[in-house]
Structure formats: C-alpha cells, structure tokens
Amino acid sequence: MSLAPPDGATQGLPAPSAEAQAHSRRVVAHLVRIITEAGGWVSFADYMGEALYAPGLGYYAAGARKFGAAGDYVTAPELTPLFGASVTAQLAPILGQLRDGEVIELGPGTGRLAADILAAVAEQDCLPRRYRLLEVSPELRERQRAQLAERVPELAARVDWIDRLPERWYGVVIANEVLDSVPPHLVRLRDGTWLERGVTVDEAGRLAFADRPLISGSLLDAACARFPAVEGDYLSEVNPAAEALVRSLAQRCGGGAMLLIDYGFPAAEYYHPQRSAGTLMAHYRHRALDDPFLWPGLADLTAHVDFTAMARAGVAGGMSVGGYATQARFLLNCGLLDRLAQTGDPQSIAYLREASAVQRLTSPAEMGELFKVLALIRGVEAGLIGFREGDQSHRL
C-alpha cells in the first residue's frame, strides 16, 4: 500500500503535516480494505462515500478544518452575511404564507448561513417555528453550536440538530452546496460500449481507476439514456443518490419550498458532447485538482449538479418547479445590491470588503453564473421574488 501520489501530482501544493499524512494513510488502509473485501473493485460512488463520510476517517467525519482561508474552499455564507440576508428575502414571504413553518438546512457547514438567516428573519418578524440542522459530522455540529451561541444566542431555543430526514416537513428546506458532495457514479463510453468506472488497487499498491461493463437494466444503464449521441471516449457522472434525496424530500413535503443552491448545469449542458471528461474535482487548500486519489481524507471530492435531474426528481415526488436561475440573478432579485448599499460609506473598509464578496458571488467569472438556484414548491404561491427576472426554468 502506498500513500505517495504520482510524480508531479503535488507540484505547487502545500504539503500536509506529518499528522495529516498519518491520518490519510489510515484512510487509504480503510479504502484498500473495503476494496479487497468487495473482491478488488468498488464503484466510484462507494469509494467517494467512504473517503468523505467513513466514521472517524472521512473528510467530513474527521476534525480537519475545511472552510475558510485555512481550509480547502470557501462557501458563499463564509464570504459575507449579505448572502444569508438575501436568501432570507426569499424565505420570508414563503414562511409568511405558512403557519408554524420550519426551516431545515442540510449540510450547514460552520453554521454561518443559519446564523445569518435567523438574524434576518428575526428582524422581519417571520421566525420559523424551528430551525433544524441536518449534520452528520460531530465536529461540525460543535462549530455550529458555537457559531449560533455567539451570533444569535437569544434564538438558540428555536434550533435543534437532526441526523436523518424528517418523516414529514412543512416550511423550507435549504441545501447550499450539498448535492455536489453526494457521491455520483462515473460512466464511460468507450468503443461504443458503456462502462462503469470504479476503483481498484493496482500492482504498486496504489488506488487506481478500473472500468467494468455496465450492467444491463440497472439504474445506471437507464440513466445513460439521458446522454447525447457521442462518439469516441466520453466520461461523465450520474447521481441516482442525489436524485433519490430530492425525490424523498419532495415526497415528505407537507407544504413549502425547497431551495437547492449549487454549481452545475441543466442536462443539455451537463452532458454536452464537448464536456467529455466529466466534472469530478478534488479540492485541497483552495486548489481544484483532477486527481481523486491525492491524500484521501484530506481533500474534498465533488461533482457538478445535473439540475434537470434534480427538477425531475422533485416533480416525481409531488412538488413543482418554482424557479431556476443563476446565483447572480437570484441574489440580485432578492436585493443583494440594496443590502450592500446599506453597509455604509462606499469608501469605507467595511463597504469595500462586502463589495469584494458581492463581486465573487455575482461575477460570471466567479460564482455568479456557474452556481444556480433551483426552487421546488408545494402549496405556496408561485412567482417567487428570486426568479422574477431571469428565470431559466425552460432550460431544464
């Protein structure tokens, strides 16, 4: 078994500490054991699931810092409280239509978004009955508790943590950068035949890709029908687990809305013939890498979201599409620039800091175009303010 990455793979990357490398070796040993017990091959979805979520070992289940400048990536709520305040502009009228509605946030990270939303809804006098955080990481739960205790201590009684989806929900579900971390399956077209790409251990003891024929009649086989007519070598992802999550949430909805915020595309763009290498990425110290075997347990693994598949899953679960737009258009519709103007003197340090964050959230070269917002609704009025201009639902 070897932890050393391929020659040149770490060029320009900050090296992990000795303690972090020792942790990654434990993760690799766990992955090798899983692969061996499975007969020498596992699907990439199974590999990614263990690398991210294995208890006490996986990237999200261990205690390494993930968010912010000292972590591996920065999410929108970490950039500025204006993001949460703008999202609240969409939540408030939905909660206003519902009596005793609750908010459920999936994968709440550091708790920044929860704190920002609670502070904003308190100002607008539309507090939810409960604000529930679905979090699987014990370390992140503690960070969330500390964040909320510091930012909104007077609202702590409204917050609780859950470790599974509720049987029934009524209100709003928020998933900000969650679906991209649901492990996808990798499928490859080679010489006219569809294959599933999985993970094995090569002769040198390294984790490596290995392709197997796709099982006829399987969910993945059926999913390949959404792919375009392509020639040559083509690789992409399908994510039945993410679709099942959205469909299950939709089925459990007693009334309300689901906001899915993530980077991704509608199917026609996701499976474009020219996007022949897929969207799988690893994130380590604010670098995007294409090697999912580099320091397992220390790097995040993600794939872009097929928003057409998510919309169809929500509709199959009984909800309807309330809107689909770029993150930039959604936030601008929700008054992001007005909130920026309220931060004070345009020459002040505080304003310039927030303006820089707003630029990252809305610029086509940053998060503005790549990130999308999909709303699914049931029992609430259509015409959501976040989609009053620039709704692209017709592209799903």
d(CA 168, CA 243): 18
Q: What is the pLDDT of residue 392?
A: 98
Pick 129 or 11 by higher pLDDT.
129
Dihedral (Cα; 26, 29, 35, 40), 10-degree rounding: 160
pLDDT over 70 at 17, yes or no: yes
Q: Look at residues 209, 176, 210, 213 and name the one whose alpha carbon lies nearest to residue 305.
A: 176
Mean pLDDT, rounded, for 1-11: 47
Exposure b/e, 315-334, CB count within 10 A at least 16 = b: bebebebbbbbbbbbbbbbb
pTM of the predicted model, to two decimals?
A: 0.93
Q: Which residue has the higher pLDDT, 344 or 169?
A: 169
- Structure tokens that stand for 22 in this block: 């020792």
Confidence of residue 195 (pLDDT cuts 50, 70, 90): very high
Task: From 382, 367, 292, select the one nearest 336 (Cα to Cα).
Answer: 367
- Mean pLDDT, range 351-367, rounded to an integer: 95
170-191 in b/e form (b: 16+ CB < 10 A) is: bbbbbbbbbbbbbbbbbbbbee
- Identify the architecture of domain 76-181+242-270+304-395 in CATH: 3-Layer(aba) Sandwich (3.40)
pLDDT surpasses 50 at 42: yes
Residue 66 pLDDT class (50, 70, 90 cuts): low
Query: What's the pLDDT band for 63 if we cut at 50, 70, 90?
Result: low
- 222: pLDDT strictly greater than 80: no
Tokens 């502070």 — which residue?
A: 119
Q: Take residue 182 and report the two structure tokens written for it.
A: 């649901």
- Grouping H, G, I as helix, E, B as strand and the rest as coil, residue 289 is strand
Give domain limits for the chain.
20-68+183-238+272-300, 76-181+242-270+304-395
